[in-house]
A and B are shown apart, each in its own frame.
Chain A
């Protein structure tokens, strides 16, 4: 019993921080964003350490099971959350606004996402999904002072509810057929009995909900809309963390649970990936709002990731994961630069706002260029590794048409990237930029170190990833 309780400590640390923050918020007089950041930081750190220590221990093996696979994704989420919380603290201090709610919801969101990743029970998955989606909606409420988000918020709530309901119906149908919520039993049932049209519909409704959380085209609309109307800390949190969790869960479901339905979902995923690549690339060119533009770049990158993973070979799984990690590291860098770009205390969102920024902020501009070039998949930057592995995998599988589409989309999206570079470097400055916090530069420095290690010795990461991804490999 005691062992089971100790194994639950990653979740416990996160949960423990919530009432602690409530007490601080209620009773402590001198509280700043730093106070809540410190509590979140400690909770997150202990949770992450406990996740690593109990990487293969499961307190409730019928509901959640920890493996190296789930630990890898959970640690990655914790690391990203750590950086996001650190940068968000600067934002809240600058705006002189209370951050208690943000950190509390953020920690709860991490808890839900981690639960989704470890879940081996469809009921737990759907429950955690619903709460995670709801928490994202609450996070959006924090943007009320800065943006007119009501319409987007209502739309998000509606679709979030719809997809949660769909997932629930799908899960219930699967449960009714397999007479179990457990992943293994469901997998065995479908392998034994095959599937019919209704099973496919149930499967599709579960996957659609997860694709909505992932934010891939054509289910990307809410994520893009929210990127434009949310404050920077919320935008960063909601654009990085759920992607990791949704990707981990989708991969697990497709390779472990619904593996017998591969004939059905492979062409479906192929179409979704191609649509995402093209949609992301074309929409990014037209966009002038930086956060939305990078949102579309995210859709393009997700398209690449999905295309690279098909047909779920070991090579594909590794290459897509490498792409995902590179993408998230790059986005971490890009958001960090966004925290550095402010004028008169206001964080800048429009492309025209950053015109000529190079003349006043040369280092931040050069680093943003490095991240953009990486996002374009240009060698020898980090995403090039992912792109190389993904294209290599496509060629191994003789998916030449996909290679052509992917390359065409990569040429298209270059226009968007170079539009940003042109604006930063070649145009005349129109704004006076504020001095950025030293912590932001430290964060950028850390990111560049990861970048350099990844570029110079990719084998160091890739080999370890392969080992950790073993549980879902064949």
Chain B
């Protein structure tokens, strides 16, 4: 089936074309990079409009992938590239695009390699968009691996150059995962004697030896993206060395691809062979969660606290997905939407606070008194992050946790404990920044502009609305 209007291909193409325009955009005569920045922002906004249009075109409560587009890529072997979306993938895409806009705000005044930052970011966005609309195993693999190059370039160019072993570690873990995935893909392709759409994975019948290898390969490759032991190592190392909010954000989006992979690959009824894998994963997951949450509480670095928060939530979502409960899956989709936007906002404003602190040469205790606009946004985001009823995170996380507690009480309790620890770490940090007794009052403080403040208020509104109704922006949903 070939659609005359290939809207899904278009949302992959728009950031890619934006990347090309950015690559050839001229920097202004005064050395500023406003042109480059504007082109990049325009490309992302254009894609957001297209995503909203896709929401209008699809039936949001219909199960399965919709708006399917098929292209014959190769005849021998016969490979079709299939694209398709459902509510989960579209929600994630929308959240990622909004997070990108927020990330761009965080780096709008950056003058170091701004063009490279925009080019590689847009390439990453194009690849990850392709990943979320991939509906067959080959396109899934292609985008799964293709997104690594832009991330590698971003980490290498904007991470701490002296500590490049982190980048090597990132590359090693992810490339091993990608290579294993490649072999599993070709094996599956041969076993099925042709194309394999992700929707057909549920009905796949494999012989026991092959099944063992295929699932092991899929688990290893997807886990290589998720901050769970022993793969958490590269993510922790990389994120502690990054001081650019955009790169931090992009590297934080990468684990999402692993989580999403589990959603797409795990069959509705789990094969018996997966029982052992899942049990091991649950144990490793909760231990990692608790461990990271405790480090986040002790560590004084604000960025590490955000990282700990992100990690704990990712593991919780992963464990939720492993239950294969439809209700949990839907809640995770809605929860992810707020989660990504909140993390992006917190990181951007945390970076802004750190920059101001360095500029003024003061301690950051009570620093937010000088910046009322930042204070409002940062406080809102932190409170939404810890689970107050300010976004879809509140209700959906509540449902996910209650279901997980019902399935396995011990696992649920450890998970709850980790969430409490990581939330208290964030709250502690917020109270320290807003500490009125140590209030730093200075006339030199530069709060965010009115335009950005209004935009962030709009984002807060979007989050609030997602609490009331997750698909509020879809007419008739």
Q: Which residues of A contact B (CB under 8 A)?
A: 315, 318, 358, 362, 366, 369, 373, 378-380, 384-385, 388-389, 391-392, 395-396, 403, 407, 410-411, 414, 418, 421-422, 425-427, 458-459, 462-463, 466
Contacts and interface: CB of A to CB of B under 8 A. Distances in A.
Nearest to A422: B156
A376 to B, nearest CB: 9
Given A426-B164, A458-B73, A458-B74, A378 B146 contact: yes
B153 A425 contact: yes
B171 interface: yes
A462 B75 contact: yes
Given A318-B76, A459-B73, A459-B75, A414 B182 contact: no
Of B153, B164, B182, the most chain A CB neighbours within 10 A belong to B182
Interface string B143-160: 001101100110011000
Contact of B171 (A380, A414, A426, A459): A414
B236 interface: no
Contacts of A427: 161
Interface residues of B, number: 33
A369 B120 CA distance: 13
12 contacts: A373-B149, A378-B149, A379-B142, A395-B186, A403-B183, A411-B175, A411-B176, A422-B164, A425-B157, A426-B164, A459-B73, A466-B76
Given A378-B146, A379-B146, A458-B74, A426 B183 contact: no
A378 B145 contact: yes
Nearest to B145: A379
Given A421-B153, A421-B156, 14 more contacts: A369-B149, A385-B74, A388-B186, A391-B183, A392-B186, A395-B186, A407-B182, A414-B171, A418-B168, A421-B152, A422-B164, A427-B161, A462-B74, A463-B75
B146 A380 contact: yes
B271 interface: no
Q: Which 4 A-B pairs have the closest CB atoms?
A: A379-B142, A426-B156, A459-B75, A407-B179
B285 to A, nearest CB: 27
A254 B148 CA distance: 40
Interface in B59-112: 72-77
Nearest to A391: B186
Contacts of B142: 379-380, 384
Nearest to B72: A459
B189 interface: yes
Contacts of B179: 407, 410-411
B74 A459 contact: yes
Contacts of A407: 179-180, 182-183
B176 A418 contact: no
Given A388-B186, A392-B186, A426 B161 contact: yes
B299 interface: no
Contacts of A385: 74
B448 interface: no
A396 B75 contact: no
B187 interface: yes
A38 to B, nearest CB: 33
Of A315, A396, A411, A426, the most chain B CB neighbours within 10 A belong to A426
A462 to B, nearest CB: 6
B190 interface: yes
B231 interface: no
A466 B75 CA distance: 11
Nearest to A377: B182
A392 B190 CA distance: 7
Given A380-B146, A410-B179, A459-B73, A396 B152 contact: no
B215 interface: no
B380 interface: no
Contacts of B74: 385, 458-459, 462
B141 interface: yes
Nearest to A456: B73
A462 B146 contact: no
A179 to B, nearest CB: 41
Contact of B190 (A358, A389, A396, A421): A396
A81 to B, nearest CB: 29
Contacts of A414: 171, 175
Nearest to B79: A388
Nearest to A385: B74
B171 A462 contact: no
B156 A425 contact: yes
Given A396-B190, A426-B164, A379 B76 contact: no
Contacts of A318: 76
Contacts of A425: 153, 156-157
A418 B157 CA distance: 13
A380 B75 CA distance: 16
B27 to A, nearest CB: 12
Nearest to B24: A363
A270 B175 CA distance: 26
B75 A426 contact: no
Contacts of A373: 149
A462 B74 CA distance: 8
